Amino acid sequence: MLIPRENLKLFGHQEQREALINAFHSKRFPHGWIVAGPFGIGKATFAFHLARYILSGRQDGNTNFAENEPFHRQIVAQSHSDVWTLGDEETREIGVESIRELNGHLNQTSTTGGWRIVIIDGADKLNRSAANALLKRLEEPPPRTVFFLITSVPGRLLPTIRSRCQFLTLNPLNEEDCQDVLRSQG
C-alpha cells in the first residue's frame, strides 16, 4: 500500500478537489485548510495531491501527475525544499519544537520563488504549546504559503485555529470508489 506522499491516484473527493482548485484560482485563496473526515479515507493523499497541483504552476485544473515528474519525486523523497510535513497516522503528539523548526523554515524565502506547502497530518495531535505556536503563524501567514491541517477529530483543534482556516470535509468513499481502490492495490 502506498503512503500518501507516494500516491498519485486520488479516489473520490472530486467535489472537494474542484472546490479547492477553484479557490486556488480565485483572487482570495485561503492560506489555511482543515481537511477533515473519517480515518483512512484519503485525507493526506488529498492534501499531497493538491500540493503537487499548487507547486506545478498548472492553471488547467488537471491534478494528474506522472511518477517521473521531478517535483513529485522530490516530495516522495521528502527533499522538496518548499514542502514541509509533520506527523502521520502513527504520531502520538506533535510538540512545539516541530512547529518552531517549521517557523524557522517559513521565515526564509521560497527556494523556487513559488508556493510553499505545509501539511500537518494528525493536526489534532498538536500539544497545547505547538497549537499556540502554529496559531501565531496562521494569524500572520507568509505570502504564498498554504497550510493543510489534516484531522479525523476537528473538535480537538483549538477554536482559534479552526476560525483561521477554511474547512474542507471529505466523506467516506462510495462503493464504486472503494472497488477502484481495491483494484488499484491488486
Rounded to whole angstroms, the Cα distance separating 87 from 85 reads 7
- The predicted pLDDT at position 111 comes to 75
Q: How confident is the model at residue 72 (pLDDT cuts 50, 70, 90)?
A: confident
- The predicted pLDDT at position 100 comes to 95
- The predicted pLDDT at position 93 comes to 93
Cell of 109: 524565502
- The predicted pLDDT at position 124 comes to 95
pLDDT above 90 covers a percentage of the chain that reads 60
Asked whether the beta carbons of 144 and 115 are under 8 A apart, the reply is: yes
Q: How confident is the model at residue 78 (pLDDT cuts 50, 70, 90)?
A: confident
- The predicted pLDDT at position 88 comes to 75
R_g (Cα) of the chain, nearest Å = 16
pLDDT at 49 over 80: yes
pLDDT at 13 over 90: yes
Cell of 16: 472537494
Q: How confident is the model at residue 57 (pLDDT cuts 50, 70, 90)?
A: confident
pLDDT above 70 covers a percentage of the chain that reads 99
Query: For residue range 131-168, what is the model confidence (pLDDT) as tens digits?
Result: 999 999 999 999 999 999 999 999 999 999 999 999 99
Rounded to whole angstroms, the Cα distance separating 177 from 19 reads 19
**Least confident piece of the model among 1-10, 76-85, 147-156:** 1-10
- Burial pattern 4-40, b for ≥16 Cβ within 10 A else e, equals bbebbebbbbeebbeebbeebeeeebbbbbbbbbeee
- The predicted pLDDT at position 30 comes to 95
Q: How confident is the model at residue 65 (pLDDT cuts 50, 70, 90)?
A: confident
- Which of helix, strand or coil describes residue 108? coil
